[in-house]
């Protein structure tokens, strides 16, 4: 599936870190590679940049084959047009801001290099800092120099390795904002490696979830976070409300699939790829659980009405996190987050009974949770 | 004061540094990044002159350079004179003896450069030579300077190997250290003291300058 434009990556290896990666990114798209520490995110990025050679793989960028182990093609990093922003930024410490950028412009005519470097620095808001050494710059400024240097290469793919992890929260938000602005001018695919799911969801067009060296799902942030392909992905994206049940039946006319869960019936959007009687895992995003108000009925109250006892109520600033047990089985509680003032006004505290609905549309079905997935996803 | 011996020592030191500089930079750089098996063995072999008694090393070199060895015979054929008891012989011996003093600080300096920087240079499209010239050498410079100063100072002070391979021929192989020893043997403590003082001064100035440069570079790169 070689695309003329963009990047396609297929990597397989056993050693030193097992990898089984399959991903593609279109020009101008930000693809976030998300996974826990040690899942192989950075290794994937290094293989694309040509810094590590996978045992077997195929990498094509903008129609050029960078790696094809079958035919022995393996371009060195300096031959691949990649812009890589290292987690440490890896600025040349003895060179000024301008000189750092100039190093990446060596393939341009000598007379235009300086102007080009200055234009890049201006574009990334570093005017006036051209003669500073990296140690004389703040963390945020260093990150910008690293981005300018990566772009100076006129890369066919821009690779960002946890680019926001080394700065404070305020700077991080500002830099993320700048990337979101800058991306509209970037013609190449951008791969953003991060362990921060919120960051990925904010910045990326699509997310590729990696776990233990395997790419599990590549889809829009919304799809990954509400319709994970497996219980493992659900847990990796921190979906808390994941339950085991079985398919009771389908009503195609109403567009509904009924589930049997702990002796109750839960209605989901029609998912007739699962057969009646088949065990399934189902999940519901926390924001699709509607807590009933005591004084008057809420919108959507008829959809899957449930009631339970609040086991935990933890106030986290303006939000209160609730753990609610439905029925006698407390192995599969619901996790809800409601505004603290709502909790207070409705007297929602530990021991209280509350009613809530779960939106039929948002109930998502997956194949059953294989043994151990729960543990392996979070360790 | 044997000015001839001092000049010979300075010349020997300077030439040893000149020959070892490119060799040690390439070897040090290679050892810093290579993952070749048997690396420890190579490092141990290069470090051998540090632990080997100078007389033992001198004896081996004397045998290796002598007319009975192929090296000695080849030299004789090419240049018409023997290698032992000549300045050239002394220079080659000095280069061999000083390998660890030059290579080790340079290797450490290259090892101290973050691999990220090397990789960043590659991702910027820099050729290997440009990466070495523009990125690595400036960062490794304090270590290279240290290696060169150590080599120079060590050459000035080398005694055992010089005596074994070069003897004490005035103007040819008599270095300042040998001259001091000769003067002490002749109960001419005044000359010996003067020469020792000059050697002390040279060593102090060289080492002080190298520290000064290293600190200045270190501050710039922090």
Query: What confidence tens digit (pLDDT) does each residue in B160-171 have?
Result: 898 888 888 888
Note the pLDDT tens digit of each residue in B2-50.
788 899 999 999 999 999 999 999 999 999 999 999 999 999 999 999 9
* pLDDT attached to residue B3: 85
- Interchain contact, A153 vs B117, CB within 8 Å: no
Give span(s): CATH 2.40.50.100, chain A: 239-284+360-379, 287-358
In whole angstroms, give the CA distance from residue A362 to residue A265.
Answer: 15
**Mean pLDDT, rounded, of chain B:** 90
- Interchain contact, A153 vs B125, CB within 8 Å: yes
Interface test with B, best of A16, A45, A46, A51 (most B CBs within 10 A): A51
* pLDDT attached to residue A301: 63
| CATH class entry, domain A287-358 | mainly beta
Q: Which helix (H) or strand (E) holds A218?
A: strand A214-219
Select from B11, B3, B1 the least CA-distant residue to B155: B11
Quote the ipTM score.
Answer: 0.83
- Interchain contact, A106 vs B126, CB within 8 Å: yes
Q: Is residue B222 one of the residues assigned to a domain?
A: no
Query: A239-284+360-379 in CATH: which number?
Result: 2.40.50.100
- Other C-beta atoms within 10 Å of A217: how many? 22
Whether the CB of B209 is below 8 Å from some CB of chain A: the reply is no
Helix (H, G, I), strand (E, B) or coil at B109: helix
Rounded to an integer, the average pLDDT of B97-111 is 95
Residues of B in Cβ contact (< 8 Å) with A93 = 117, 139, 221-222
Q: Is residue B172 one of the residues assigned to a domain?
A: yes
In B, minimum Cα distance to A103 occurs at: B124
Whether the CB of B219 is below 8 Å from some CB of chain A: the reply is no
Interface test with A, best of B120, B218, B219 (most A CBs within 10 A): B120
**Chain position carrying tokens 């002390």:** B200
Note the pLDDT tens digit of each residue in B205-216.
888 888 888 787
* pLDDT attached to residue B46: 93
Q: Is residue B221 one of the residues assigned to a domain?
A: no
Q: Is residue B102 a contact partner of residue B111, using CB atoms and an 8 Å limit? A: no
Nearest-by-Cβ selection for B134 from A103, A135, A153: A103
* pLDDT attached to residue B114: 94
* pLDDT attached to residue A246: 94
| CATH class entry, domain A7-235 | alpha beta
Residue B151 has pLDDT above 90, yes or no: yes
Residue B222's pLDDT band (cuts 50, 70, 90): low
Closest CA of chain A from B134, distance in Å: 9
Edge-to-edge, what's the strand order for the sheet holding A214-219?
A73-74, A64-68, A56-61, A7-13, A19-25, A214-219, A206-211, A30-34, A190-194, A157-161, A82-85
Cis ω for the linkage preceding A127 (within 30 of 0): no
pLDDT in tens, chain A (379 residues): 444 689 999 999 998 889 999 999 999 999 999 999 889 999 999 999 999 999 999 999 999 999 999 999 999 999 999 999 999 999 999 999 999 999 999 999 999 999 999 999 998 889 899 999 999 999 999 999 999 999 999 999 999 999 988 888 888 888 899 888 888 888 999 999 998 898 999 999 999 999 999 999 999 999 999 999 999 999 999 899 999 999 999 999 999 999 999 889 999 999 989 999 999 999 999 889 988 877 665 555 678 999 899 999 999 999 999 999 998 778 889 999 999 998 888 888 999 999 999 999 999 999 987 754 444 444 4
- Interchain contact, B221 vs A107, CB within 8 Å: no
In A, minimum Cα distance to B118 occurs at: A90
Q: Are strands A206-211 and A256-261 parallel, antiparallel or unpaired?
A: unpaired
Task: Quote the longest CA-to-CA distance of chain A.
Answer: 77
Residue B82's pLDDT band (cuts 50, 70, 90): confident
Give span(s): CATH 3.40.50.300, chain A: 7-235
**Chain position carrying tokens 């990649």:** A82
What total number of domains does chain B contain? Answer: 1
Which CATH number goes with the domain that contains B18?
A: 1.10.3720.10
Q: Which residues of A137-167 are buried (b: 16+ CB within 10 A; e: fewer)?
A: beebbbbbbbbbbbbbbebbbbbbbbbbebb
* pLDDT attached to residue A1: 46
* pLDDT attached to residue B221: 58
Q: Is residue B113 one of the residues assigned to a domain?
A: yes
Q: Is residue B191 one of the residues assigned to a domain?
A: yes
Q: How far is CA B165 from CA A155, A309, A319, B89, in A?
A: 59, 94, 84, 7
- Interchain contact, B130 vs A106, CB within 8 Å: yes
In B, minimum Cα distance to A104 occurs at: B124
Helix (H, G, I), strand (E, B) or coil at B96: helix
Nearest-by-Cβ selection for B135 from A81, A92, A107: A92
Closest CA of chain A from B220, distance in Å: 7
Residue B218 has pLDDT above 70, yes or no: no
Q: Is residue B202 one of the residues assigned to a domain?
A: yes
Residues of B in Cβ contact (< 8 Å) with A133 = 220
Q: Is residue A82 a contact partner of residue A64, using CB atoms and an 8 Å limit? A: no
> Which residues of A have a CB under 8 Å from any CB of B?
49-51, 76-78, 81-84, 86, 88, 90-95, 103-104, 106-107, 133, 135, 149-150, 152-153
Residue B220 has pLDDT above 70, yes or no: no
**Chain position carrying tokens 């000024």:** A96
- Listed in sequence order, the residues at least 6 apart from A4 whose beta carbon sits closer than 8 Å to its beta carbon are A62, A63
Q: Is residue A207 a contact partner of residue A218, using CB atoms and an 8 Å limit? A: yes
> Structural domain of residue B37, as residue ranges?
3-215
**Residue ranges of the alpha helices (H) in chain A?**
41-49, 97-103, 110-123, 139-152, 169-182, 197-203, 221-226, 231-236, 340-345, 373-378
């Amino acid at each position: 599936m070689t695309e003329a434009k963009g990047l396609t990556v297929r990597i397989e290896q056993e050693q030193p870190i097992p990898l089984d990666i399959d991903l593609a990114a279109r020009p101008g798209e930000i693809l976030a590679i998300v996974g826990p520490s040690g899942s192989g995110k950075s290794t994937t990025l290094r293989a694309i940049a040509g810094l590590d050679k996978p045992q077997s793989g195929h990498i094509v960028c903008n129609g050029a084959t960078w790696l094809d182990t079958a035919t022995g093609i393996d371009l060195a990093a300096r031959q691949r047009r990649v812009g890589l922003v290292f987690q440490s930024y890896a600025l040349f410490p003895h060179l000024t801001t301008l000189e750092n950028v100039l190093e990446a412009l060596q393939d341009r005519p000598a007379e235009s290099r300086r102007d080009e470097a200055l234009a890049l620095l201006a574009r990334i808001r570093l005017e006036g800092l051209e003669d500073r050494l990296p140690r004389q710059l703040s963390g945020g400024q260093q990150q910008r120099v690293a981005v300018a240097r990566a772009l100076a290469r006129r890369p066919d793919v821009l690779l960002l390795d946890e680019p926001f992890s080394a700065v404070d929260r305020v700077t991080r938000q500002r830099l993320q904002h700048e990337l979101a602005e800058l991306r509209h001018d970037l013609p190449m695919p951008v791969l953003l490696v991060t362990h921060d799911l919120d960051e990925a969801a904010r910045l990326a067009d699509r997310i590729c979830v990696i776990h233990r060296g395997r790419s599990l799902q590549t889809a829009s942030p919304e799809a990954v976070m509400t319709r994970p392909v497996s219980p493992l992905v659900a847990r990796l994206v921190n979906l808390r409300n994941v339950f085991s049940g079985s398919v009771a039946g389908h009503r195609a006319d109403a567009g509904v699939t009924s589930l049997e869960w702990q002796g109750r019936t839960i209605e989901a959007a029609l998912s007739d790829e699962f057969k009646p009687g088949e065990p399934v895992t189902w999940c519901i995003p926390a924001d699709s659980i509607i807590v009933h108000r005591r004084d008057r009925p809420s919108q959507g109250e008829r959809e899957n009405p449930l009631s339970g006892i609040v086991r935990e109520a933890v106030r986290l600033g303006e939000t209160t996190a609730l753990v609610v047990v439905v029925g006698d089985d407390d192995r599969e509680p619901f996790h809800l987050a409601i505004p603290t003032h709502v909790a207070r006004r409705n007297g929602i505290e530990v021991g209280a009974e509350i009613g809530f609905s779960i939106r039929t549309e948002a109930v998502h079905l997956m194949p059953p949770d294989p043994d151990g997935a729960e543990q392996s996803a979070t360790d | 004061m044997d000015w001839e011996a001092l000049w010979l020592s300075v010349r020997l030191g300077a030439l040893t540094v000149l020959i070892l500089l490119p060799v040690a930079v390439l070897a040090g750089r290679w050892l810093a990044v290579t993952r070749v098996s048997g690396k420890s063995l190579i490092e141990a072999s290069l470090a051998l002159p540090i632990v080997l008694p100078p007389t033992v090393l001198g004896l081996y070199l004397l045998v290796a350079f002598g007319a009975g060895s192929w090296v000695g015979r080849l030299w004789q054929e090419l240049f018409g004179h023997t290698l032992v008891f000549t300045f050239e012989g002394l220079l080659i011996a000095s280069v061999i003896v000083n390998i660890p003093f030059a290579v080790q600080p340079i290797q450490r300096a290259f090892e101290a450069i973050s691999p990220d920087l090397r990789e960043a240079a590659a991702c910027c499209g820099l050729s290997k030579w440009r990466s070495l010239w523009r990125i690595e050498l400036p960062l490794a410079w304090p270590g290279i300077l240290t290696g060169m100063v150590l080599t120079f100072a060590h050459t000035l002070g080398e005694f055992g190997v010089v005596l074994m391979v070069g003897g004490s021929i005035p103007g040819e192989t008599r270095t300042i250290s040998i001259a001091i020893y000769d003067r002490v043997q002749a109960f001419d403590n005044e000359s010996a003291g003067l020469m020792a003082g000059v050697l002390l001064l040279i060593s102090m100035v060289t080492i002080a300058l190298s520290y000064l440069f290293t600190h200045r570079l270190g501050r710039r790169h922090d």
